Structure 1
Amino acid sequence: MLRFALLSFVASVIVLTRTESAHAEVVVVQPQDSSSPMLVKTKPPTVVVVKQRSDSPTPVMQSPPRRERERKVGLHFDVGGTLGPDVTMGGFNGALRFRPKPYVGIDLGSGYFVGHDFQGFYRTEIPVTANVLFFVNPKHKLQVYFLLGPGASFGRVDMLSEVRRMTHVGGQAGLGLELRLARAFALNFDARGVLRHRIDSDPRPEFVDGTKSTDTSGGALLTFGATFYF
């Protein structure tokens, strides 16, 4: 009986020693008689999880701002008329406009003009132009631009006894304003000077004033129009 009690005590010490490192609680139940086995109940260790709190807020991923597409192609339309008391002509132009750079534009266009020249003859002309536009402040709503470019014109003049057809080459230069009402729409106004020379095969001069004659002519033109960018 004494030996069995000693063995029970040693077993209890061993169990307590092994469970101490795990911080477990051990309950030993002494047997009531020599025939009953010893019961050992253990409480599982308590596990504590420490979550470290970050002082800095979690960054929020934001998508980059959407970049507006550059509109580099457009259609330009305008109406215009000549300046001067002796010449009354008016008409319209249409052009395909390219904006390869914000500061540069290229207009490739044609038009139709009718009226009377300074000799009083009825005249119709079809101009073909290629103008380069230099925008001074392309980031502003109201933009200033200079234009310069070559051109040609194919005309018909109804004279007193015949109809003459004439071909001219020359160029134009001017100054204008573009009011950008939207990214896809703008209003345009410009004034330009035109200088040209007749190059067709007719040997007769185009203009005769007494003893003076010439095949070179020039004038000023005002235009007002709109441009649709896409």
Structure 2
Amino acid sequence: MYQPPNQGQAPQVVIVTPGGQPPPRVVVRSTPAVPPAPPPPPPPRRWRSEWGLNLRLEGASFGSAEGVAADAAMGGLGLSLRYRPVPAFAIDLGVDVLGGIDYNGFKRTEIPLSLSGMIFLNPRSRVQFYLMGGVNMSYADVEREVILASDDPQVAGTLSTVNEEYEYFGGHGGIGLEFRLSRRVALNIDGLAFIRNRTDERATQYPEFVDPETGRTTNVSGGGLFRGGISFYW
């Protein structure tokens, strides 16, 4: 376009360009929100050493060998203080009180003391299988009947009741199961076999067992204990 100039003015030239570039298109893309990462799992609980108190009921077995009194049966109760420094091992210090009729048919009260080691084969399970073994010493009071020998014919041949005190030392071993009801409470059942030797001063002079057929004597004895109880841990 050309516009003639007015008088005294310079000519003006205007250049008009048709069309033109459209404004740039803006594309907005939405990115889905990233979910937050799950929290890390809690660290595994560190094992802390445990103390425990075990209370139990038990019965004794004398086997089926010849010479066992027909009414032989003993039972009782006991308790143990237990220390478990690591999951797979514990130390058990126990005391028991047993009473009844012994192998020879005499009335007996016996108090065993035991020191045992316990190996737990699957310590992380709710039902734990363990092996147990150790040493024991025991004191027994035995009431027996003897035939008196005397120059007095009224006394000779009569029966009299005497009390004798026996002492023993030996070892034991067995297996058991512990059922964890909670972190603090557990039930257990186990079976132990034991063997021991009589060690009191009268043992050599008056042996405890005499074979009536051969006359052989011994102070070595053995048997089994079957126990069930409950443990409290802290």
* TM-score (normalised: structure 1): 0.70
Identity %: 38
Partner of 1:180: 180
Change (3 A) 1:209 1:77: same
Q: Distance in 2 between matches of 1:193 and 1:172?
A: 6
Q: Post-superposition shift, 1:212? A: 2.1
Name the residue aligned to 2:105: 120
Q: How does 1:93-112 map to 2 (within 5 A)?
A: 93-112=78-97
Looking at secondary structure, tell me which structure has more helix per residue.
1
* Paired amino acid for 1:181: L
Q: CA deviation at 1:98?
A: 0.5
CA-to-aligned-CA distance 1:28-87 (integer Å, 9 cap, x gap): xxxxxxxxxxxxxxxxxxxxxxxxxxx988989989669477351010111110124643
Paired position in structure 2 for 1:219: 223
Farther off after superposition, 203-212 or 93-102: 203-212
Q: Which runs of 5+ in 2 are unaligned?
A: 1-32, 146-160
Name the residue aligned to 2:194. Answer: 194
The question of whether the paired residues in 2 share the 8 Å contact of 1:71 and 1:184 is answered with: no
Counterpart of 2:55 in structure 1 is 77
Cα contact 1:71–1:229 (8 A) shared by 2 = no
SS at match of 1:159: strand
Structure 2 CA distance for aligned equivalents of residues 61 and 188 of structure 1: 39
CA distance in 2 between partners of 1:127 and 1:145 (Å): 22
Measure the CA separation in 1 of the matches of 2:183 and 2:49: 8
In the alignment, is residue 152 of structure 1 matched against residue 137 of structure 2? yes
**Aligned equivalent of 2:74, options 83, 86, 89:** 89
Q: Which amino acid aligns with 1:147?
A: M
In 2, the alpha carbon distance for the partners of 1:103 and 1:198 equals: 34
Q: Which moved more, 1:177-186 or 1:85-94?
A: 85-94
One-letter amino acid of the structure 1 residue matched with residue 193 of structure 2: G
Partner amino acid, structure 1, of 2:84: R
- Gaps of at least 5 residues in structure 1 are 1-54
Q: 1:146 to 1:69 in 2, by over 3 A?
A: closer
Query: Any conservation in 2 of the 1:76–1:226 contact (CA below 8 Å)?
Result: yes
Distance 1:65 1:134 in 2: 26
- The partner residue of 1:209 within 211, 215, 220 is 211
Larger radius of gyration: 1
**Aligned residue for 1:3?**
none
